[in-house]
């Protein structure tokens, strides 16, 4: 199908013209008018990390309309899950948002556990909470490095990836993988921690806190970053809520919505932490919230390390048994690094879920773009796009 075909999804709106590359206005004779230009940004573009395509209508350098076109990375994770049992689906859940693998698998296992009424030992819950936060830090460090890179600053990515490597090494020593951990299991964890993990984790925390101090000096206090991001792409709280934004994108507007606080899962109800909120909802606030969230994650991990109890790491009698997902339905929402991750699972007594619906953070977050981009400049588009913090695999599932 060529791009100029009329696609049903666009028939109902005048966006059709835009996608077709139309937009030629009829100008009355004798009058001057500027013709709007259609610009395709992406699907392959160095400044959009991943295959996200944005069609923008330009009046000079000012964006008059913008529409993200998604689906280039659709892998059908929901459908694939209908043919795989809980443990096999875990592998898929690792991959739709590859930067928050553990958080994804955590949400999925919690959904199955609640539906099948499986108790999880205390120790496993503490370790899971800790790993979810480690994964959050790993995720945020990528964006803390790549966002300045998109703005044109080369240096920060080296710092953030240097510290990320430490976290990754630590997590790898326990899970065996750097990205797709597959460490959570229904009823607990795959394995217990290796010896020396807690000590190393403490050392990593010290290094991370040092990085955050450096980061404040290098990025947050940098005049160029400040001028480039302050008041660029502000989102009004009501708009953010209406579009279902979550995570840093929502918290930067001043709305302190966080499932870790609102509907605590695992051990989040027992640890103390704050939900950082911004004031203006602009690009600078989004980055600021991201950095503050890493600080909070460090605090949570510290509490996990202190309070980790002895005990089993998984519920007995479940090893190597395919869990039957009982009849019923459940919706579990967890706080992923990028926002709220929801799993809606319908079971029918078989090993495979009857239906799985994923509510992914990035998908809702980028849906706000058409409402905030009009009126901004093309160079600012990059600053806004980068500050929304999304993973394309999470958008397209």
Pairing label, strands 53-59, 37-41: antiparallel
Min separation Cβ 312 and other proteins, Å: 5
Nearer to other proteins, 301 or 369 (CB): 301
Nearer to other proteins, 53 or 267 (CB): 267
**How many angstroms separate the CA atoms of 99 and 53, rounded?**
20
Nearer to other proteins, 52 or 157 (CB): 157
Residue linked to tokens 């279902």: 244
Phi-psi region of 277 (alpha: psi -120 to 50; beta: other; left: phi over 0): beta
Min separation Cβ 319 and other proteins, Å: 5
Min separation Cβ 175 and other proteins, Å: 7
Min separation Cβ 125 and other proteins, Å: 14
Nearer to other proteins, 266 or 352 (CB): 352
Nearer to other proteins, 191 or 262 (CB): 191
Min separation Cβ 8 and other proteins, Å: 32
Binding residues vs other proteins (CB under 8 A): 84, 87-92, 94-95, 123, 155, 159, 162, 165, 169, 172-177, 180, 182, 190-198, 214, 216-224, 226, 276-279, 285, 288, 308-314, 316-317, 319-320
Contact 278/114 with Cβ under 8 angstroms?
no
Q: What DSSP assignment string belongs to 57-68?
A: EEETTEEEEEEE
Cα angle at 377 between 230 and 35, to 5 degrees?
A: 165
CA nearest neighbour of 356 among 114, 93, 119: 93
Describe the strand order of the beta sheet including 355-359 as a list of residue ranges: 328-336, 339-347, 355-359
Pairing label, strands 184-185, 62-69: unpaired
**How many angstroms separate the CA atoms of 379 and 382, rounded?**
6
* φ, ψ of residue 352 in degrees (nearest 5): -90, 145
The tokens of 155 are what?
A: 């240096």
Contact 342/359 with Cβ under 8 angstroms?
yes
Min separation Cβ 158 and other proteins, Å: 8
Contact 318/281 with Cβ under 8 angstroms?
no
Nearer to other proteins, 277 or 358 (CB): 277
Min separation Cβ 160 and other proteins, Å: 12
Min separation Cβ 170 and other proteins, Å: 9
Q: How far apart are the first and last CA of the chain?
A: 22
Nearer to other proteins, 198 or 206 (CB): 198
For residue 75, CA distances in Å to 72, 281, 397 come to: 9, 32, 6
Nearer to other proteins, 61 or 203 (CB): 203
């Amino acid at each position: 199908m060529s791009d100029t075909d009329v696609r049903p999804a666009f028939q109902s709106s005048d966006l059709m013209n835009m996608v077709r590359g139309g937009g030629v206005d009829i100008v009355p004779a004798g009058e001057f008018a500027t013709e709007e230009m259609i610009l395709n940004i992406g699907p392959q573009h160095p400044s959009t990390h991943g295959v996200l395509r944005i069609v923008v209508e330009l009046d000079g350098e000012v964006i008059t309309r913008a529409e993200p076109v998604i689906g280039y990375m659709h892998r059908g994770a929901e459908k694939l899950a209908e043919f795989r049992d809980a443990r096999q689906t875990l592998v898929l859940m690792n991959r739709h948002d590859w930067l928050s693998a553990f958080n994804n698998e955590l949400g999925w296992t919690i959904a199955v556990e609640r539906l099948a009424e499986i108790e999880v030992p205390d120790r496993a819950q503490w370790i899971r909470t800790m790993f979810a936060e480690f994964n959050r830090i790993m995720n945020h460090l990528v964006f803390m490095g790549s966002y300045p890179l998109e703005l044109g600053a080369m240096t920060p990515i080296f710092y953030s990836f240097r510290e990320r490597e430490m976290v990754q090494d630590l997590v790898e020593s326990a899970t065996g993988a750097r990205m797709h951990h597959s460490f959570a299991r229904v009823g607990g964890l795959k394995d217990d921690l290796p010896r020396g993990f807690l000590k190393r984790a403490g050392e990593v925390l010290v290094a991370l806190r040092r990085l955050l101090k450096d980061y404040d000096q290098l990025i947050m206090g940098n005049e160029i970053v400040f001028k480039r991001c302050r008041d660029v792409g502000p989102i009004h709280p009501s708009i953010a809520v209406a579009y279902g934004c979550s995570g840093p994108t929502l918290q930067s507007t001043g709305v302190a919505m966080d499932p870790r606080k609102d509907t605590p899962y695992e051990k989040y109800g027992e640890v103390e932490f704050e939900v950082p909120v911004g004031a203006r909802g602009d690009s600078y606030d989004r980055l600021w919230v991201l950095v503050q969230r890493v600080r909070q994650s460090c605090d949570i991990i510290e509490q996990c390390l202190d309070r980790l109890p002895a005990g089993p790491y998984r519920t007995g009698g479940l090893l190597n048994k395919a869990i039957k997902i009982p009849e019923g339905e459940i919706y579990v929402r967890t706080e992923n690094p990028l926002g709220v991750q929801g799993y809606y699972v319908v079971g029918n007594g078989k090993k495979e879920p009857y239906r799985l619906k994923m509510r992914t953070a990035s998908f809702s977050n980028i849906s706000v773009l058409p409402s905030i981009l009009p009126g901004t400049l093309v160079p600012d588009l990059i600053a806004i796009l980068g500050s929304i913090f999304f993973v394309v695999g999470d958008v397209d599932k």
